Amino acid sequence: MKRSLFILFLFSFFFANAQTEEQKLITTLKEFHQALVNKNTVSINQQTDKILSYGHSNGWVETKADMIKNLETGYIYYHSYKEDSLQTVINANMAHARFVADINVTLNGNTGTYHLKVLEVWVKKGKRWILFARQAVK
């Protein structure tokens, strides 16, 4: 009897702690934004697709290489990145996330806070979600 209860407890524990795909995506998305703030280019490299298209609200589009270089050189510096009204849709190994973001950033020496509507497209590769594309508008 004790063994059955123990197995039932373990089974319940694993299911209670298992993240849904949506939770994994949201966690990855927030970790990516925090990596921008922390200038964690190793993490950014792992969380983005090799053909990333990262669109800004002013029409500027960065590639993955551009993004990493601009963070490393200080051309762009994210002070904070806060998401609100996050909505995600997952379809097999593709997902999109829409949210409103308040982003405090310094770009080429000019600092400002932007209130933006953002769309991110994520692709699941193996067990990980990878950012494929992003576009922001004012």
**How many helical (H) and strand (E) elements, i.e. helices and strands, does the chain have?**
4, 6
How far is Cα 23 from Cα 13, in angstroms, rounded to an integer? 17
Q: What is the DSSP string of 92-121?
A: TTEEEEEEEEEEEEEETTEEEEEEEEEEEE
CB 95 within 8 A of CB 129: yes
**Residue pLDDT, tens place only, 70-101:** 999 999 999 999 999 999 999 999 999 999 99
Per CATH, the architecture of 19-137 is what? Roll (3.10)
Specify the pTM.
0.84
User: Where exactly are the structural domains of the chain?
Assistant: 19-137
**Residue pLDDT, tens place only, 39-60:** 999 999 999 999 999 999 999 9
Amino acid at 89: V
How far is Cα 27 from Cα 43, in angstroms, rounded to an integer? 13
**Residue pLDDT, tens place only, 9-32:** 555 554 444 579 999 999 999 999
CB 129 within 8 A of CB 25: yes
